[in-house]
Structure formats: C-alpha cells, structure tokens
Amino acid sequence: MLTLTANLLPPLLGALLLWTGAAKLTSRRLRAQTARTALPRLVRGPGRAVLVLRATAAAEVLLAAGLLAAPGAAAPAVGAALLGAGFLGYLGYARVVAPDSSCGCTASDNAPITWHSFARAGFVAGAGAGALTADEAWWTAVGDRPAAAVALLLAGAAALAYLSDGPEGRGRVRLRRLRLRLFGSPLGGPAGGDGTVPVEASVELLERSLAWETVSSLVRSGLVEHWEEDGWRILHYTGARHDGERDRPVSVLFALDAGAHLDRAGGQVIRVSVVDQETAEVLTGDLVEAAAGPPRPPLPLAG
C-alpha cells in the first residue's frame, strides 16, 4: 500500500498545483488579493508582490505538468518539495508580521491563515519528497490496482479539498445545506423524532417579535422558567412597573406556538400577560399600551 501511495502522489500533487497555479494566473483580482496578504511587506511593494505571485503561479503550473506527464523525473518532485518548504516559511513569516493576513495560496482565498494553510503547504513539501520514491508511473499503478488506486485518489482529493476550502469556505456552506436537506433542521428535531423545538429557538423567535419589542421595557431578567400547555410554550420573565415613587415587581409571560421557530415562517401568534407579583392582578392592557408609547400616525398615501 505504501508503494501504491507513493506512486499516486504525483497526480495528487500535480492536480493541486495545477489548480492553485492556474487560478492565480487567470485571476482578474490578483492585485486586490495580494494586498490582503503579507507578501507586499515581505518584498517591499505591492507591484513586486504581484510579480512574485505570478511567478509562483507559473512555477506551480510547470511543476504540475512535470508531475503529471513525467512522474519518474526527479526535477518536478524536488521542485515541488522546495516550493512546499518555501510556502511553510512564508506562512510562518506572515503569521508573525501580519496575523490577520490571508494566505494568497489560491485566487479566491481571502480567509486568514489557519492550520489548513500550513497543512496544505506541508502536504506539498512532503508529497514532493514522497514522489521521489515512486517506482512506476501513476497510470501504470492505477491500471494494476484500479479499485485501491481510485479509493486512494478520492480520499486524497477529499482531504486536499478540505484543506483548500478553509475554515468557512463555500464548500462547507454547501455541505451544511445538503445536510439540512437530507436530515432536516436541528430546530425541527432529529429525523423521525418528536419534532420538539428547543427552548432557545423559542426565545430567539420571541426576542425578534413585535410582542417582545412592545413590552421589553418592563422585562428585568432573563428567562426564569418555561413550560408547555395545550400546544403553547409559556416563557416567564420577571419585570417591574413604575407605580408612584417605586417600582412594583411583575411577571411577564409570553405564550407562543410550541412548534414555532424562525425557519417556520408565518402564522406565529405571541400572547403577552403582565401580572403583579404582589396582588396577582392582571395588568396587561394598560401596561402594554403604556410600554408601547403613543400610537404611531398613519403613513401618508400617494394619490
């Protein structure tokens, strides 16, 4: 298996270098992207930084062509190993002098340097050195053991895609969307479960509602307790109302659909009750009107 892995390193490394090099060579925003890296500081000027990035991209494409077309040649493998070592040194420098700068490794990479960048550069260096141990062309290795070779190539490509995508790349967003489509939203409970909506989701829905906006001036605490009754989820907060020269404690109760959340749009009704804690008197009407302030004038209509 180790021999097969070594024989498959040239196509994996070549594909990676071909992608990153071609992306930088053809990018129309390379100058803007270069400004977000630490390269201008290293070479003393944005113009020089763009030239260095273009030259690096050309070198990547040439090395990729050599690895893919002549996997037995030592020069492309040695060049890739040296290029990977250079990447590691540059990333270390960038982390010291400009910790928030981007890697600039690909034309679309604007995220700050993370361990993904170091791991990818380490792969380039290691795979370049490992390619020197290949004893036959990669296409021969694939022909001899197609199933194992394809499995290794797919696993390697997936790992490189993960490292190249960065911590919040578009690929991860697409995977999250696919997961939601396949398994449903976590707010809706696990597939096949009872569909219980977490209390945090109800609180989030409440705090974005007009009901909350109206009486939030009365609320003095976070969520005190909650319970469910006849399909309603009751959320209890403590509050205070001004009465003469002192504030009297009140309970502010919200009732909303126990199955409602932000992703289930429309139809949510939220009921509000304000109860004096000393007398148990329901004060909702007057207090809500006072908290809401004067009625808003109607908007003028055209025509």
Read off the DSSP letter of residue 295.
P
What are the residues whose beta carbons fall under 8 Å from the beta carbon of 185, sequence distance 6 or more? 263
Average pLDDT, the chain: 81
User: For the chain, what is the largest distance between any 2 Cα atoms, rounded to a whole number of angstroms?
Assistant: 92
Question: Which residues does residue 249 pair with via DSSP β-bridges, in sequence order?
Answer: 240
The pLDDT of residue 303 is: 42
- Report the half-sphere exposure of 211 (CA within 13 A, side-chain side): 20
Question: How would DSSP label each residue in 93-105?
Answer: HHHHH-TT-B--S
Amino acid at site 219: V
Closest to 194 measured CA to CA, from 262, 266, 260, 259: 259
The pLDDT of residue 167 is: 56
Question: Residue 262: how many CB atoms within 10 A of its CB?
Answer: 12
Closest to 236 measured CA to CA, from 291, 38, 249: 249
Q: Helix/strand/coil (H, E, C) string of 160-229? A: HHHHHHCCCCHHHHHHHHHHHHHHCCHHHCCCCCCCCCCHHHHHHHHHCCHHHHHHCCCECCCCCEEEEE
Q: Cα–Cα distance between 182 and 185 in angstroms, integer?
A: 9
The pLDDT of residue 122 is: 92
Helix (H) or strand (E) holding 252: strand 246-257
The dihedral of CA 193, 194, 195, 200: what is its sign? negative
Question: pLDDT tens, position by position, for the chain (303 residues)?
Answer: 778 888 899 999 999 999 888 888 888 777 777 877 888 888 888 888 888 888 999 999 999 999 999 888 889 999 999 999 999 999 898 888 887 787 777 655 666 788 888 888 899 999 999 988 888 888 988 888 888 889 989 998 888 887 777 655 566 666 666 666 666 655 554 444 456 788 888 888 888 888 888 888 888 888 988 988 888 899 999 988 887 777 888 899 999 888 777 766 555 678 888 888 888 888 776 666 665 555 555 555 554
pTM higher than the cut 0.75: no
Q: Cα–Cα distance between 283 and 287 in angstroms, integer?
A: 6
